[in-house]
Structure formats: C-alpha cells, structure tokens
Amino acid sequence: MKFEFYNPTRLIFGAGTLSRLGEAAREHGRKALLVTGGGSVKRTGVFDRAVTSLEKAGVSVVECAGIEPNPRITSVRRGADMARREGCDLVVALGGGSTMDAAKVIAAAVFYEGDPWDMIGHGQENWVLPTRALPIITVPTLAATGSEMNCGAVISNDEVKVKSFVKADCLFPRVALADPELTLTVPRDQTAYGVCDIITHVTEGYFNGVDGTPIQDRFAEGVILTAMEYGRRAVADGGDLEARTQVQWASIVALNGWVQAGVDAVHPVHMIEHALSAHHDVPHGAGLAVVNPAWMRFAAKARPQRFAQFARRVFGLQADGRGDLELAMEGIDRFEAFLRSIGCPTRLSELGIGDELIPRYAEDAALVLRDEHGNLLGRPPMSKADIEAVLRSAL
C-alpha cells in the first residue's frame, strides 16, 4: 500500500454554523461571487441568512444564480464572466453538489483565457489542468457528493453530450462550512439519491481497490452502515436533525480522500452513470442506484471474496455452508432492497431510459475506463461489451 494524502480544506461542521460564514469568508476576500442553484436557497431563507452573515463581516456579495442540477459548462462561462466583470476576489457556493462544482470551475476559469471546457475531461487529450483559482468556500445544502471538501468538479456539456470531471489541487475549498440544518428541507427523493451517492463513493474503492487495505475497508463499512441507518431515518422524517447531521458527515468522509487513500480505485459505476446523465440528465444518485447493483453482480463473479465480506460485515449474513459467490449475491440483493426501501430506482426503465442508446453509453464510459496505454481499467477490467451487458441487465 502506497499513497500520498492531501486535503487542505478547513471544515467547520455542525448545526447553526451558517452564522460563521461571514467570519470565515473575510479571511479570504472582500467581494464574493455567491453561486446558487435553481432557487431552493431563496425559498428556505438560507440565502438571506448567508448574505447577512457575509455583509455583516464586510464581505460584499454578487449573486450568480441558476446553476442547474448536472451543471452545464454554459453556466460556468456565465459565472466566470460575471466574477471577472465584477472584480470578485472570492467564490462562495451555497447549494448542492451541482452548485459547488460549478462554483469551483468558475473560480478557476477566472484565470483561464481559453474556454473553461478545456479544463474538464481529466487526463484527456488537450486537457488543461487548472493551477490557479479564486479562493473557494463551500456551503452544502444537500448531503451527497462530498464536493464541499474535495478538489473535484463534474460538469456537463449539452453540445457534445458529455459529462466529465476535473480534479486539481487549486479546487480544494479553503473552507467547507457544513451546517446540517440547511439540509432539513431536501425533498425525500433527493435525500435518498444522496444516500446512494454517499454509499457508492465508498463501494467504488471497496470493490475496485487493491487487496490489503483493512483500515480503508473498515472506514468504508462504517460509512455504509452509518449512511444506511441514518439515511433511512432522514428519508422517513426529513426534519430529523440528528439523522441529517450523520448523513452530512458521512457524505464528507466518503469522498474527502480519506477512505480512498491507498486503495487505488477506479470508479466504473460513476463513469457509467456519467454517460447516462450526459444523455438523459438524470439525478446522479438515482443513476447510481440503477448502475451499482447491476455492476456489483458483474464484478462479484471475479472477486467473490470481497463481495462476501461485504455481505457478512454490512448485512450480517452467514455462509451457512454456501460458497462466497452465493453469499455475495445475497449481499447484493440486500443492498438493492435497501435502495428500493428508501425510494431509489434500480432499473433503467424507471429513469425513462430504454435500450436504444446502450452502445453509445458503453462507448462513452469505456473511453474513460482505460488508461493512457489503452489498458482496460477496473477490478475486473471492463470492456465496452461488459459495460453493455451490465446496462442491459438493469433494463
């Protein structure tokens, strides 16, 4: 096991911490581009509270509203123009993963003279690694992506029908201010999708990582068990602050790099979901709920021991004379049943997706599931035909 861990984001966590936004922002700038989504923060009053806190601390605000779920590169271009024109020296994201991701790329695009789309498509030909960005502060209102404390951003481009990502050190937020009270208003379906996203962030490493990572395995199982227990509660009662708090913390831990350290994971489930989202604009967590169990059934055959471990440790299943693969399959069935119990879709048809474009999704995902030498990635490695088969099994 070999790794380097770096995460410079200061995390301010807990109910009521929104009032500290101004104080936190003031250390990094005086004029904030406040990036928001489609209006939820206005309806909940969170926007006014954020602006009050910022202005009280002497930080003036320019709003960049209207970031869409599955944020588009067009919004990033608009935000970067606005930040430049207004002379903003700080970017504050107030919203879900989409808003945070757009805000991050806006912060970098301010210093980039070309088209911000050049920065998306990690590792692709002609890809431009962002090296400089305005200071970023994230204030999540939805627990799911972990974007608040990582250096990634996922952006969609409708013109070319691609959803892809960028990861760069300059995109680490200076401060993540996570106040679980802000998530109390997240609707039931988005809450469930968020729980699925959190769990999938750690299952990617758990099943795709190298062997010999016992601590990371236990971290991942802790995240899964916590997200399941408190996620169930948050879905049943959106006003349960304790449940919202634990789910929020799980979302951060799941993708701030800690669980991933040393596992050398690829993310086939995410890459396949991104291909679906690029064509159908589905909510990220809902797409994952469809792809993940289908992918697991494919991968379990190659690594039954890992999946049997998951069945035993997460669902408390016993072998009772059965082999690893049989146990593994029951664990996957239980996982899928959990997703359904909280209201996630688990079939493509529930997302309104048929089989017509399956070869295209598979082609898109296969492009990013291979290294620079063309070797297939994943454990087991996935060919285009494998991806197609996984998707067909989820129809």
Q: What residues line the site for Zn ion (CB under 5 A)?
A: 197
Distances (CA, A) of 295 to 101, 288, 300, 302: 26, 10, 8, 12
Rank residues 22 and 345 by Cβ distance to Zn ion and give the closer one. 345
Please select the residue that binds ligand NZQ; options are 9, 185, 226, 248, rule is CB under 6 A.
185
Distance between CA atoms of 68 and 75, rounded to whole angstroms? 8
Q: Which of 72, 174, 244, 284 binds ligand NZQ (CB under 6 A)?
A: 284
- Rounded to the nearest whole angstrom, what is the least distance from the CB of residue 221 to ligand NZQ in the complex? 19
Partner whose binding site includes residue 175, from ligand NZQ, Zn ion, none (CB under 5 to 8 Å by kind): none
Cα gap 7→174, rounded to integer Å: 10
> In whole angstroms, how close is the CB of 114 to Zn ion at the nearest point?
28
Between residues 293 and 304, which has the closer beta carbon with respect to ligand NZQ? 293
* Residue 38 found at the interface with ligand NZQ (CB under 6 A): yes
Distance of alpha carbon 128 from alpha carbon 33, whole angstroms? 24
Which residues ranging from 222 to 241 are in contact with ligand NZQ (CB under 6 A)?
A: none
With CB under 5 to 8 Å by kind, the binding choice for 69 among Zn ion, ligand NZQ, none is ligand NZQ
Q: Which is nearer to ligand NZQ, 270 or 384 (CB)?
A: 270
Q: Which stretch binds ligand NZQ (CB under 6 A): 143-151, 203-211, 239-247, 371-379?
A: 143-151
Single out the segment in contact with ligand NZQ by CB under 6 A; choices: 51-59, 119-127, 180-188, 235-243.
180-188
Q: How many whole angstroms separate alpha carbon 286 and alpha carbon 189? A: 9
Exactly one of 9, 75, 138, 147 binds ligand NZQ (CB under 6 A); that residue is 147
Q: What does the binding site for ligand NZQ look like in residue numbers (CB under 6 A)?
A: 37-41, 44, 69-70, 95-99, 101, 141-142, 144-147, 150, 152-154, 182-183, 185-186, 190, 194, 197, 255, 270, 284-285
